[in-house]
Amino acid sequence: MNQLKPLLRTLFIPGMLFLGACCCNKSVVPVPTPPPPPPVIHSSLGDVFFDFDKSELRTDAVAQLKTNANWIEANAGKKVIIEGHCDERGTNEYNLALGERRANSAKDYIVHLGVEPAKLKTISYGEEKPFAEGHNEEAWAQNRRAHFIAE
């Protein structure tokens, strides 16, 4: 009898699973396929960079601003925030004012290209939100920018 118990257990459990699978009259419901992922919108909005202590547009900035203006016109339902940024040199007050001049310089040029001013909003962060960490010219050059964000 002691030998029969392990044999019954090994046969009983698979037998019950088999009977449960065979005797069930329920139809198998297939798992629905998941919906496709939403399309990825590649934004052509790019930053424009400035020279030290300047808010005048450089020649490389003009090309990027034209690309940004085309994107804004092609995406009529979107509004754009232009953030003005500075490097860490200078006082907070001075950098906030310089960041504002940089954002407004970029905005003015895009408006000059025909973009509706109501689609654009400017804000200055001065030195508060650096893109590149570091205390050298390479990092500072990356932080002197007007950054574009689609809403």
Structurally, the chain folds into a number of domains equal to 1
Residue 63 placed within a domain: yes
| pLDDT tens readout for residues 73-83 | 999 899 999 99
Q: Which pTM does this prediction carry?
A: 0.71
Residue 126 placed within a domain: yes
CATH code, 91 = 3.30.1330.60
Over range 110-134, report the average pLDDT.
95
Instruction: Tell me how far apart the alpha carbons of residues 96 and 54 are, in angstroms, rounded to a whole number.
Output: 13
The answer to whether 69 touches 43, Cβ cutoff 8 Å, is: no
Average pLDDT, the chain: 86
Per-residue 3-state assignment (H helix, E strand, C coil) for the chain: CCCHHHHHHHHHHHHHHHHHHHHCCCCCCCCCCCCCCCCCCCCCCCCEECCCCCCCCCHHHHHHHHHHHHHHHHCCCCCEEEEEECCCCCCHHHHHHHHHHHHHHHHHHHHHCCCCHHHEEEEEEECCCCCCCCCCHHHHHHHCEEEEEEC
Nearest to residue 129, comparing CAs of 65, 93, 81, 83? 83
Domain with 86, as residue range(s), is 48-150
| pLDDT tens readout for residues 8-63 | 667 666 666 666 655 556 666 676 766 666 554 456 899 999 999 999 999 999 99
Residue 146 placed within a domain: yes
Instruction: Tell me how far apart the alpha carbons of residues 70 and 53 are, in angstroms, rounded to a whole number.
Output: 28
Instruction: Tell me how far apart the alpha carbons of residues 149 and 114 are, in angstroms, rounded to a whole number.
Output: 19
Residue 22 placed within a domain: no
Residue 120 placed within a domain: yes
Residue 39 placed within a domain: no
Residue 32 placed within a domain: no
Residue 19 placed within a domain: no
